[in-house]
Structure 1
Amino acid sequence: MIDDNIKHVINGDYIVIPIETGYIKPNEDLSSIINPARELMEDGDYLVIAETPIAISQGRLVDESEYTPSLTAKFLTVVWSKYLWGYVFGPLLKIKKRTINNLRKLPEETKAHKEVVLQLYGLKHALKPASEAGIDLSNAPGTCVSLLPDNPEKVAKEIKAQIGKEVCVMIIDTDATYMKNGKYFTGLPIAINGIEADRGFFGYVKGQLSENMGSTPLGCSEEISVEKGLEIANIAEDYQKSLSSEMKTIHDVKKVLGTSEKEVTVEDLDSITHTPAVIIRKK
């Protein structure tokens, strides 16, 4: 049960309680998530946190303007991603129309982005036409991007300890987990036990021929089955999709913030309400 005065929505057999904050800044602690969670959570609840605020709080930002694109990065951007995936492989594999449209209009800055992926994660991830290695372009200021969090399982356990209740804390990424022949896998570099991770481009291609299971749990404070982890992660993702301020891709930035992607400031990001986490409770 829940007090009607507390903001919440019902999703099937679960109650979803959003935790709303300002923009969590680089190297800032997570008290704006942990304090309300400590107050609102009950034993048995789940706290699901998006990966980007965790990563930004760890200072895992990279300024892409400091990278000079190599010939490989230029080829991967223009020939491989924009044309081959935008006009041939994408339509052939029936990937999302939104993704195809975005690939066909890749900006010049994507070349530097590909160079970042190449240097930090290697060709296996750079070959992926979009959302490479879970790097987030949409919630960072200026020409910065955020990498995946460092050791999300450890972070989840530390947050649980600070909450001080018998709850389950999970950090998730919206990039997909797929299933084929009863086995789970993702292109992302990391995932919870039971999901084969770090498949990069090869996981992405295989995933187009497999069942998309939704968002990927990156780390969890408890040992949790993949099925339960995916269920809870997708309930959290359903709530995020309902928000008008959601910035799922870099192309949503101008619509939400009213400024170009390259000109976003911390002040711009702090001007809207963020929902970096939700509490999920069985009814």
Structure 2
Amino acid sequence: MSKNLENIKHITNGDYIVIPIETGYIKPNENLNSIINPAKEIMEDGDYLVIAETPVSVSQGRLVDESNYSPSLKAKFLTTVWSKYLWGYVFGPILGIKKRTIKNLRRLPKETYAHKEVVLQLYGLKHALKPASEAGIDLSNAPGTCVSLLPENPQKVAKQLKAEIGKNVCVMIIDTDATYKKNGKYFTGLPIAIDGIEANKGVIGYVKGQLGENMGSTPLGCSENISVEEGLKIANIAEDYQKSLATEMSTIHSVKSVLGTDESSVTIEALDSITHTPAVIIRKK
């Protein structure tokens, strides 16, 4: 029998109940107790705890200050000619990528030069050639000119968090960047994903994905050995909830509307001024 949810915020999504875990901004090198402590109280055996990748990365201190990188000619070319013009006006419309992505590409500022340099140096050309969301680097939930990289060893983190919760639950860390399906195979441009999803495909995965089926958010690591289909289903229920939030900062361009400040002027205090939902509990009804 499910615990009484009368006094706990929740919604239903088909056959599932979604219970958000709301916190302040999880700061660099801070533990994840603000997620784990309520999870311990609310979760039941068989529940899923789905955590966004960025709070995990920030808690690990995986922030990079892009102002420390001097853009090369290659980075400038990839930003302006390749991403802004070729993808924004030619490849993007031909392949039918999201109109929001095309709009964002067409207004790429010069400040993006340093971002491309970071991608080139840390992940290489195959990720830098991807026009947006390169290597899963998050620009929207980090202070100042910092960005957050993907978490280190998300599967290990998921297993550790399950052990802290101390119940028979499934902990999953996800990224909103897509997993695709083509010819019966699952793949993603992201550097990492759960077993069963071919990862680290970079721009090749992105292009191939536009010709296949977008399956939604990518499970990066999981405490259990689950099927790709189950992982994707649960990840997408979590993403559906995130998309419903007024405070969602899915891209760098949404930062200004949520926080009321320019992207490069974001402070930890500003990030901490809004309610964050870094995780949701998902329970079968």
CA distance in 2, matches of 1:98, 1:241: 14
Aligned equivalents of 1:80, 1:167: Cα separation in 2? 44
Partner Cα separation in structure 2 for residue 184 and residue 84 of structure 1:
27
- What corresponds to 1:77 in structure 2? 79
Q: What residue in structure 1 maps to residue 140 of structure 2?
A: 138
Report the counterpart of residue 6 of structure 1 in structure 2: 8
SS in 2 for 1:202: helix
Cα distance in structure 2, aligned partners of 1:9 and 1:193: 30
- What residue number does 1:259 align with? 261
Structure 1 CA distance, aligned partners of 2:41 and 2:220?
Answer: 25
Q: Which runs of 5+ in 2 are unaligned?
A: none
Indicate the residue corresponding to 1:29 in structure 2.
Answer: 31
Query: Match of 2:186, SS?
Result: strand
1:211 maps to 213
In the other structure, the counterpart of 2:116 is 114
Q: Deviations over 1:52-95 (max 9, x none)?
A: 00000000000000000001000000000000000000011110
Tell me the CA shift for residue 153 of structure 1.
0.1
SS in structure 2 at match of 1:243: coil
Q: Residue 71 of structure 2: SS of its match in structure 1?
A: coil
- 1:94 and 1:235 map into 2 onto residues whose CA distance is 25
Q: Counterpart of 1:42? A: 44
| Paired residue type of 2:47 | D
TM-score (norm 1): 1.00
In 2, distance between residues paired with 1:94 and 1:217?
24
2:272 counterpart residue number: 270
CA distance in 2, matches of 1:157, 1:3: 26
Deviation at 1:108? 1.0
Query: Percent of counterpart pairs with the same letter?
Result: 83
Deviation per CA, 1:206-262: give whole Å up to 9, x if none. 000000000000000000000000000000000000000000000000000000000
The separation in 2 between residues aligned to 1:92 and 1:267, in whole angstroms, is 42
In the other structure, the counterpart of 2:192 is 190
List aligned pairs for 1:172-183, cutoff 5 A.
172-183=174-185
TM-score, length-scaled by structure 2? 0.99
2:238 corresponds, among 221, 236, 239, to: 236
Classify the secondary structure of the residue corresponding to 1:20. strand
Q: Secondary structure, in 3 states, of the residue corresponding to 1:166?
A: coil
**Structure 1 unaligned spans of 5+:** none
CA distance in 1, matches of 2:17, 2:184: 29
What is the distance in 1 between the residues matched to 2:172 and 2:184? 23
Deviation at residue 280 of structure 1 after TM alignment: 0.2
Q: What is the CA–CA distance in structure 1 between the aligned matches of 2:124 and 2:5, rounded to whole Å? A: 49
Q: Aligned partners of 1:32, 1:45: CA distance in 2, in Å?
A: 18
User: What's the CA shift string for 1:114-172, capped at 9, x where partnerless?
Assistant: 00000000000000000000000000000000000000000000000000000000000
Give the Cα–Cα distance (whole angstroms) in 2 for the partners of residues 59 and 180 of structure 1. Answer: 35
CA distance in 1, matches of 2:142, 2:109: 17
Secondary structure in 2 aligned to 1:10?
Answer: strand
How many angstroms apart in 1 are the aligned matches of 2:136 and 2:94? 24
CA positional deviation for 1:4: 1.4
Q: Distance in 1 between matches of 2:187 and 2:96?
A: 20
Letter in 1 for 2:249: M
